[in-house]
Structure 1
Amino acid sequence: MRARPATPVSGTWPLPPGKPYNIAPCGNHCRVLYWKFEPFSPALCTPGYGCHETTPAKPIRYRQDHRMSALAINPIHRAVRFYEAPIGKKAVMAITGLILFGYVVGHLLGNLQIYSADHDQINRYAAFLHNPANAVPLWAIRAFLFLAVVLHVTASIQLWLQNRIARPIAYVRKNDVPASYAARTMLWSGPIVGAFIVFHVLHLTVGAVLPLQDVNGSPITPDVYHNVIAGFQNPWVSGFYILAMILLCMHLYHGLWSMFQSMGIDHPRYTPLLKKGAAIAAILIAIGNCSIPIAVMAGLLTL
């Protein structure tokens, strides 16, 4: 493959900075497409042919196209390149957020069994989950949820840092783009909800925080119903639980409708409906979760 001949003229060639001219043996300057061909063979200076034409080696452009075509069919490379873009991180946050939302709904439905007239109903539900026969699928689900949490948090932090690097100086006018209170509190509501999840697991699941004790000070391991009622009789625990559920409500509201926006579903006709649907879902989840400690503090649920 040969470079297209170019008529030599006097003056400065529009070559990239730092790229010298190719000097033919005759001393004339030859125009060389350095950004397309590399390396170059010595310029030919055939009498009557024109010394401004060169015989390049294998063009880089062809090699780059060939390499890019090979990388284009690599799914891992394409996934990494997609994740490096902001839309890729938003997609990861949307998918993992949807997974965690499904878990929140399922967890709420299981906890609402505490209102059953049969107090052993929630105990049987907990016994079913912790049955040794269900150990493998249970831990598989836990590992899957843990991975979703890690990806969700990692993508959110990287996206925040990427935005800060792209715009290190804040805008002079902050009211140009209106944002809801839930959107402005996403940065710190997420860590608080995460801290609550750790406390919630250590308190009601593991029993390592505020364990129940008998009159002699010895630890006891009551059933799930007893554990929930006794745990929420502490006003500090109930208050922290309610506060975390309110923050979770705002986090879910903004996350649910922005998830559709990240996926390209953004239309003046549908966006208000998505916001209303996200608000209804978030409020229902908050009411369902907050009703348990409120019922315990009000004496509606007793031992």
Structure 2
Amino acid sequence: MAITGLIMVGFLLMHMYGNLKVFLGADAFNHYAHWLKGDILYPLVPSGTFIWIFRVFLLVAIVAHIWSAAVLTGRAHSARSSKYAVTKRLSQTYAARTMRWGGVILAGFLVFHLLQFTAQVVTTGFRAGSEPYDMVIASFSQWWVTLAYLVWVAIVCLHVRHGVWSALTTLGANTSAKARSFLNGLAWVIAIVLFVGFMIMPLAVQFGWVK
């Protein structure tokens, strides 16, 4: 679960960086989007093949992450034969307490996001087959799309903040009070960078800074 989680955090950071190319203009953003689906690793692999290899790899990571969560949850429930006599809530962050439900919500939004920009079945203000830049502008010019995206990104970042800390702890990095403090700070930095990086583009479109 730790390894697949860190793989997805790495993907989010790359995805965020790619989104920022919208500030370079339509040509740069469209070129980047088409490049992702075309010439990566060409001629080592046929044109358009890498994106499918990457999608399968990411899908396997997501399925493995969900499966790991289900297995760990099952182990936690089977480890206790009866309900706790004391139900006092432990000193946990909100993100830690809502990791499971947060993951379910994220999965639902992810499906919507893929249907929106990848499959183009859910067209939020654009026509199927539109250029990537046009899809972004049309979608985030609508306040409800930007608001839904903000909620989703906020949940993602809460999930990431706790997930990064937990993953690195699981992999043995939490070896002292100093290391614990560093890991907690690192998790917060990654979560904040992702939130700002993902939200600056839709907000720029919403307020007319990018047209």
Q: How high is the TM-score relative to the length of structure 2?
A: 0.90
Q: For 1:271, give the aligned amino acid.
A: R
Q: Is the 8 A contact 1:212 1:221 kept in 2?
A: no
Indicate which of 190, 199, 202 corresponds to 1:290: 199
The whole-number CA distance in structure 1 between the counterparts of 2:201 and 2:81 is: 44
Q: For 1:205, give the aligned amino acid.
A: T
Shift of 1:221: 2.7
Q: Is the 8 A contact 2:121 2:128 kept in 1?
A: no
2:138 alignment partner in structure 1: 230
The whole-number CA distance in structure 1 between the counterparts of 2:118 and 2:139 is: 11
Corresponding residue SS for 2:28: helix
Q: For 1:119, give the aligned amino acid.
A: A
2:33 alignment partner in structure 1: 126
The whole-number CA distance in structure 2 between the counterparts of 1:134 and 1:257 is: 38
Alignment of 1:234-273 (within 5 A): 234-266=142-174, 267-273=176-182
The whole-number CA distance in structure 2 between the counterparts of 1:137 and 1:224 is: 19
Q: For 1:225, give the aligned amino acid.
A: Y
Corresponding residue SS for 1:135: coil
Higher helix share: 2
The whole-number CA distance in structure 1 between the counterparts of 2:23 and 2:118 is: 19
- In the alignment of these two chains, the number of paired residues is 204
Give 5+ residue unaligned stretches, structure 2: 40-45
Q: Write out per-residue CA displacement over residues 124-159 of structure 1, whole angstroms, 9 at most, x where no aligned residue.
A: 011111227432222111111100000000010111
Rg larger for: 1
Q: Is the 8 A contact 1:233 1:296 kept in 2?
A: yes
The whole-number CA distance in structure 2 between the counterparts of 1:175 and 1:251 is: 23
2:13 alignment partner in structure 1: 105
Q: With a CA cutoff of 8 Å and minimum separation of 6, indicate the structure with the bigger relative contact order.
A: 2
1:17 alignment partner in structure 2: none
Indicate which of 187, 194, 200 corresponds to 1:278: 187
Q: For 1:256, give the aligned amino acid.
A: V
Q: Write out per-residue CA displacement over residues 15-61 of structure 1, whole angstroms, 9 at most, x where no aligned residue.
A: xxxxxxxxxxxxxxxxxxxxxxxxxxxxxxxxxxxxxxxxxxxxxxx
The reply on whether 1:147 has 2:60 as its aligned counterpart is: yes
Shift of 1:112: 0.6
CA root-mean-square deviation: 1.7
The whole-number CA distance in structure 1 between the counterparts of 2:101 and 2:181 is: 25
Corresponding residue SS for 2:48: helix
In 2 relative to 1, CA 148–230 (structure 1 residues): closer, same or farther, beyond 3 Å? same
Q: Is the 8 A contact 1:212 1:220 kept in 2?
A: no
Q: Percent of pairs identical after alignment?
A: 33
Shift of 1:172: 3.4
Q: For 2:186, give the aligned amino acid.
A: G
Shift of 1:210: 2.4
The whole-number CA distance in structure 2 between the counterparts of 1:297 and 1:145 is: 30
Q: Is the 8 A contact 2:4 2:64 kept in 1?
A: yes
Corresponding residue SS for 2:47: helix
Q: Is the 8 A contact 2:115 2:121 kept in 1?
A: yes
The whole-number CA distance in structure 2 between the counterparts of 1:257 and 1:98 is: 10
Q: For 1:105, give the aligned amino acid.
A: L
2:43 alignment partner in structure 1: none
Alignment of 1:7-46 (within 5 A): none
